[in-house]
Amino acid sequence: MNIKTFIVDSFTDMPFKGNPAGVCLLDTPINVEMMQSIATELNLSETAFLLKTKTNSRHFEIRYFTPIVEIDFCGHATLAASKIILSKLNNSTIDFTTHKGLKLNAKLEGKYIKMIFPLYPTTEYIPNQKLYDAFGIENPISTRFAKDLDMLIIEVKDKQSLLNINPNYQKAIESSKTIKEVVITTKSEDKDYDFYSRCFCPWIGINEDPVTGASHSVLAKYWSSILNKKEMTAFQLSKRGGFLKLNIISDTQLEVKSNARIVFEGEMKL
């Protein structure tokens, strides 16, 4: 069996920036164990597996795997998958259905790929002090929890505080059994962006995720209520870095525009 395999840098216009994801185009279904083994072999934060449905040439089933576990939704792997289909299969628009039944859409709009993501609310949350200590956070402005993604959002006072975060990942894992991601964010004082963030996921085998689409499905709603804006531009302050243009179009839907670069194309022989 040969599987067309790609590596795509998402949320960037440049190679070796943004967030790399694997994309595997399947001609026939393969089992979960094989998908997990491939994702472990590629050793990227996420690998997306795409299977075209028989009844609609623009509709794909999509599943996401980290090197150690399957996850329900991944924004940067969805963008990577969209880049491959739009570039290689000459589709102008794509519909995805995830393993959990989530409906996603992507299309070309000028130089960007526009995607429709879900929009998730948050509730107030008080984690134990050990979690704050693991991330070196003192006096957070706000801490909120997105139950849909088991994601904690922590706002800190400024950009430098965000850049200074240097987590103890083992202590973070030990501090919580329910959280899968911690996203630390701050308001931007720069004219180009509305807010910054960093995303840490040691619970699912990713210490720091370079650029995270799913976190912005939470951050968009959080910052919209603070800034009183529906359209925002965000930047994730990892070493690789990446941008997202956000537009809240309903209480449950978020429009995300960005770009991606294909950096590797080949076949996996199994």
The answer on 156 and 110 residing in a single domain is no
The answer on 30 and 44 residing in a single domain is yes
Look up 61 and say whether it is catalytic: no
The answer on 235 and 140 residing in a single domain is yes
Q: Give residue 10's identity as a one-letter amino acid code.
A: S
Q: How far, rounded to the nearest angstrom, does the alpha carbon of residue 267 sit from its chain's CA centroid? A: 25
Average pLDDT over residues 53-58: 82
**Any idea what the Cα angle at residue 164 is, between residues 160 and 170, rounded to 5°?**
150
User: What is the span of the domain harbouring residue 70?
Assistant: 2-117+257-269
The answer on 138 and 107 residing in a single domain is no
pLDDT 10s digits, 133-162: 999 999 999 999 999 999 999 999 999 999
The answer on 166 and 132 residing in a single domain is yes
Q: What percent of the chain has pLDDT over 90?
A: 91
Take residue 150 and report the two structure tokens written for it. 């088991």
* Count of structural domains within the chain: 2
Take residue 251 and report the two structure tokens written for it. 């209480």
The answer on 112 and 10 residing in a single domain is yes
The answer on 144 and 98 residing in a single domain is no
Exactly one of 33, 46, 109, 124 is catalytic; which is it? 46
The answer on 66 and 160 residing in a single domain is no
The answer on 127 and 106 residing in a single domain is no
The answer on 145 and 112 residing in a single domain is no
**3-state SS, one letter per residue, for 114-176:** EEEEECCCCEECCCCHHHHHHHCCCCCCEEEEECCCCEEEEECCCHHHHHCCCCCHHHHHHHC
Average pLDDT over residues 220-230: 98
For residue 47, the surrounding DSSP H or E stretch is strand 47-52
The answer on 180 and 221 residing in a single domain is yes
Alpha helices in the chain (DSSP H): 32-42, 75-88, 129-135, 159-163, 169-175, 213-227
pLDDT 10s digits, 167-179: 999 999 999 999 9
CB 194 within 8 A of CB 233: yes
CATH number at residue 83: 3.10.310.10
CB 151 within 8 A of CB 145: yes
The answer on 213 and 104 residing in a single domain is no
**Which of 34-38, 50-54, 241-245 has the weakest average pLDDT?**
50-54
Other C-beta atoms lying within 10 Å of the C-beta of residue 171: 14
